[in-house]
Amino acid sequence: MADSLHAPDVSSATVRSRMPAIRRMTLLRVQVPLKKPVKHASHERTASENLVVRIELDDGTTGYGEGVPRTYVTGESIGSTFRALERSDWPRSIGRPGSFAEVVAKLEGLSLAEIDGDSRGMGGNAARCALELAVLDAYGRYFQTSIGEAVRLAKVEGLERHARPRAVRYSAAITAESRRKEIVSAVKFRIYGFRDVKAKVGVAGQDDPRRLETLRRILGRRMDIRIDANEAWRADVLIERVAPLLRFRPSLLEQPVPHAQVDALAELRLRLGVPVMLDESLCGWPDGVAAIERKTADYFNVRLSKCGGLLPSLRLIGLARRNGLGVQLGCHPGETAILSAAGRHVAGRVAGIRYLEGSYDRHILKANLTAADLTFGYGGRARPIDGHGLGIEVDPALLAAMTTETKVIDYA
Q: Is 335 near Mg ion (CB under 5 A)? A: no
Task: Pick from 108, 118, 279, 361 the residue near Mg ion by CB under 5 A.
Answer: 279
Provide the minimum distance between the beta carbon of 120 and Mg ion in the complex, in angstroms, as a whole number: 17
Q: Which is nearer to Mg ion, 66 or 228 (CB)?
A: 228
Q: Residue 273: phi, psi to the nearest 5?
A: 85, 10
Q: Which is nearer to Mg ion, 27 or 126 (CB)?
A: 126
Cα–Cα distance for residue pair 382/310, rounded to 1 Å: 19
| Cβ atoms 317, 129 nearer than 8 A | no
Q: Which is nearer to Mg ion, 73 or 186 (CB)?
A: 73
Provide the minimum distance between the beta carbon of 258 and Mg ion in the complex, in angstroms, as a whole number: 13
Binding to Mg ion by CB under 5 A, coded x per residue (else -) over 175-214, reads ----------------------------------------
Binding to Mg ion by CB under 5 A, coded x per residue (else -) over 217-256, reads -----------x-------------------------x--
Q: Which is nearer to Mg ion, 114 or 279 (CB)?
A: 279
Contacts (Cβ under 8 Å, ≥6 apart) of 340: 331, 358, 359, 360, 361, 374
Provide the minimum distance between the beta carbon of 228 and Mg ion in the complex, in angstroms, as a whole number: 4
Cα–Cα distance for residue pair 280/174, rounded to 1 Å: 19
Q: Which is nearer to Mg ion, 56 or 182 (CB)?
A: 182
Q: Which is nearer to Mg ion, 101 or 235 (CB)?
A: 235
Cα–Cα distance for residue pair 235/239, rounded to 1 Å: 8
Q: Which is nearer to Mg ion, 132 or 228 (CB)?
A: 228
Neighbour order of strands in the sheet with 276-278: 172-174, 196-200, 224-228, 253-254, 276-278, 299-303, 326-330, 355-356
Closest CB to Mg ion belongs to which residue? 279
Q: Which is nearer to Mg ion, 154 or 302 (CB)?
A: 302
Provide the minimum distance between the beta carbon of 281 and Mg ion in the complex, in angstroms, as a whole number: 10
Provide the minimum distance between the beta carbon of 132 and Mg ion in the complex, in angstroms, as a whole number: 22
Provide the minimum distance between the beta carbon of 240 and Mg ion in the complex, in angstroms, as a whole number: 22
Cα–Cα distance for residue pair 141/139, rounded to 1 Å: 5
Cα–Cα distance for residue pair 106/89, rounded to 1 Å: 13
First to last CA, the chain: 44
Provide the minimum distance between the beta carbon of 412 and Mg ion in the complex, in angstroms, as a whole number: 43
C-alpha dihedral, 51 to 97 to 384 to 395, nearest 10°: 40
Question: How many amino acids of this chain bind Mg ion (CB under 5 A)?
Answer: 3
What is the SS3 assignment for 33-79? EEEEEEECCCCEEEEEEEEEEEEEECCCCEEEEEECCCCCCCCCCHH
List residues binding Mg ion (CB under 5 A).
228, 254, 279
